[in-house]
Amino acid sequence: MTRAQSGNRPAFDTLIQMAALHGAPDNPAACPIRDVLDRVGQKWTLLILIALTPGPRRFSALQRQVGDISKRMLTQSLRQLERDGLISRQVYPTKPPSVEYALTELGQSALDPIAVLTDWADRNHDRIRAARTAFDATA
């Protein structure tokens, strides 16, 4: 079993372990990886989580901050995140009603893996783009 530079031993073991059981095809939600990956794959979830990092945000504020997201998708994504316990939803019954979304503790904890991921993405984006150009040139 060869291994290169990896500095995350415990996390790495989890990964190996996951590679072994490779998920239950009949019940995808039973496999933590697939379950979480489904959410991560959702075009907007991570962007929303990131947008909430500095602090609580209202619906419209979120929409402006994420940029090109429709109200439909924002609502949908927020619901899912709330259901998963990653964000909380607080309604203030003012005259024009306002709703504030915030990261829960669980959501906060999710930021760590996300940060590691985006950090990797940021550091290696150039290499990836270079690899693509090289590949396209060969092909």
Interface residues with DNA (CB under 7 A) are 41-44, 58-61, 68-73, 75, 78-79, 89, 91, 96-99
What is residue 30's DSSP assignment? G
Cβ atoms of residues 56 and 44 within 8 Å: no
From the list 84, 74, 85, the residue with the least C-alpha distance to 47 is 74
DSSP assignments along 55-97, one per residue? S-EEHHHHHHHH-S--HHHHHHHHHHHHHTTSEEEEEE--SS-
Residue 27: name its binding partner from DNA, its own copies, none (Cβ under 5 to 8 Å by kind).
none
Residue 2: name its binding partner from its own copies, DNA, none (Cβ under 5 to 8 Å by kind).
its own copies
Residue 98: name its binding partner from DNA, its own copies, none (Cβ under 5 to 8 Å by kind).
DNA
Residue number with CB closer to its own copies (11 or 92): 11
Residue number with CB closer to DNA (81 or 110): 81
Q: Which two tokens stand for residue 69?
A: 């997201």
Residue number with CB closer to DNA (8 or 64): 64
Residue 6: name its binding partner from DNA, its own copies, none (Cβ under 5 to 8 Å by kind).
its own copies
Q: How far is the CB of 64 from its own copies (least distance, A)?
A: 9
Strand order in the sheet with 57-58: 57-58, 98-103, 87-92
Give the separation between CA 30 and CA 13, rounded to whole angstroms.
19
Residue number with CB closer to its own copies (95 or 118): 118
